[in-house]
Amino acid sequence: MLGLVLSAPGILRSFQYVSYGESAPAGVVSLSCDGKVPGTDLDLTHWTSNDTPEALYADTSTEIALKLARARLNSGEYAEYDDAMVVNNHYDTDGVLSVFACTNPEEALAHYELMTAGAEAGDFGEWSSDLGVQLDYALSALCTDDEDEGYAAALARVPALLEDFESDSAGAAHAELWRDDWEWLVAAWDAFESGSAPQTLSEGVGRIMLVEQPKGSSDIDCTVLHRALRERGVCGHACSGKACSRVLKATHDAEAGLWRYVYEKPGHGWVQKLVERETVPLADPAKIAAALSALLGGRGGEDEAASAPMAAATAVWQAGGASGLSGQKIGWTSTWVEAPPQEVMRALVEVDEGARAAASD
């Protein structure tokens, strides 16, 4: 447990890491940051089924916690939580920064934009700012196998990290935590924009964006993808009806004339309630799988069909499954298929309402 005395009068909060699935400690006033922990008195989270107050709600848990800090320090609200225990059940950038905003509200408010950008990079894979991405890399580097210890190490270093990133040195004093990842990301972006990367991004059908790449290439980095969507005006902040709601990743085996597909939501798509971004429509993975398997069944490559015979056509397109920061995976092909991307996207738009363009488009 970390007890932190704040400079703001009357506020003394402690932090306790709670293992995932466990409840908050009984007998004390508590608030949950980022992870939704059963038994807390106040939710400060964007996780599904949260009870975060509407006046505080934001797209990231970090910004929710910053709004609590602003409401308390500027307006005197929420004083009943001045000595609350702050709890979270997992380590990530949004979690660390939201805990810091609760335990050090005055200091955190001085870094509002940087902390928000760091949380967006961590939870959504977004490239809101260079410093935000670098802050996410730095905090991710401090995570250990023991998440409780990771929190202790990270929270001890957050004040210096924030000051360093917002100083003239722009994070140089902590470069060992973020520089290698950052240089790799910049190189990946430069290759993508120059056309020398194997991946290409193009507008698909409806509100699907199409990523194509040759067999054997690495998947497109989620942060590169977000920046590409942003610069094309179709990221989550696009005006109503223009934001990408689905991403179809198509891998091409040109020699065999076959394709493999992964169908996903964009990076912010797992959050069901959003304020600044357009909410991504829910999908029906089972319905999509049935329709796409009917289209693709019996058209797969012989190599994989022979090694893993499919009992039914439904095995061609699998439903559901998480896929990290590139979004929640809606479905994917379990084998190589002949159908080209345009045919697959037309079928997806027919069966998936969330992939269709708005009526005003």
CA-wise closest residue to 228 among 261, 198, 270, 199? 199
Pairing of strands 208-214, 246-253: parallel
Pairing of strands 258-264, 329-333: antiparallel
Higher pLDDT, 361 or 132: 132
* 349 has pLDDT over 70: yes
* 304 has pLDDT over 50: no
Across the chain, what does the average pLDDT equal? 90
Q: What is the mean pLDDT of residues 34-44?
A: 94
* 291 has pLDDT over 80: yes
- Confidence band (pLDDT; 50, 70, 90) for 146? confident
- Confidence band (pLDDT; 50, 70, 90) for 357? confident
**What pLDDT score was predicted for residue 322?**
56
**What pLDDT score was predicted for residue 11?**
80
Q: How far is CA 258 from the centre of its chain?
A: 31
Q: Is 176 helix (H, G, I), strand (E, B) or coil?
A: helix
* 303 has pLDDT over 60: no
Sheet with 200-203: strands ordered across: 200-203, 208-214, 246-253, 258-264, 329-333, 317-319
- Confidence band (pLDDT; 50, 70, 90) for 147? confident
pTM of the model: 0.90
CA distance 2 to 155: 9
* 351 has pLDDT over 90: yes
**What pLDDT score was predicted for residue 323?**
56
Do the Cβ atoms of 89 and 20 come closer than 8 Å?
yes
Kindly state the helix (H) or strand (E) to which residue 15 belongs, with its residue range.
Answer: strand 12-17
pLDDT in tens, 201-218: 999 999 999 999 999 999
CA distance 199 to 221: 10
* 361 has pLDDT over 70: no
N- to C-terminal Cα separation, the chain: 53
Q: What is the mean pLDDT of residues 253-269?
A: 96
CA-wise closest residue to 247 among 276, 275, 274, 221? 221
- Confidence band (pLDDT; 50, 70, 90) for 240? confident
Do the Cβ atoms of 18 and 95 come closer than 8 Å?
no
CA distance 218 to 200: 12
pLDDT in tens, 49-101: 899 999 999 999 999 999 999 999 999 999 999 999 999 999 999 999 999 99
CA distance 26 to 277: 36
Domains of the chain from N-terminus onward: 2-178 (no CATH), 200-355 (3.10.310)
pLDDT in tens, 161-173: 999 999 999 999 9
Quote the tokens at residue 108.
Answer: 């955190």
Do the Cβ atoms of 248 and 204 come closer than 8 Å?
yes
Which range, 9-23, 228-242, 247-261, is most confident? 247-261
CA-wise closest residue to 243 among 216, 267, 211? 267
**Beta strand residue intervals within 170-328, DSSP E:** 200-203, 208-214, 246-253, 258-264, 317-319
**What pLDDT score was predicted for residue 239?**
82
List C-alpha distances in Å: 276 to 22, 57, 240. 31, 11, 11
Q: Is 29 helix (H, G, I), strand (E, B) or coil?
A: coil
Quote the tokens at residue 47.
Answer: 């996780």
* 347 has pLDDT over 70: yes
Main-chain phi, psi angles of 113, to 5 degrees: -65, -40
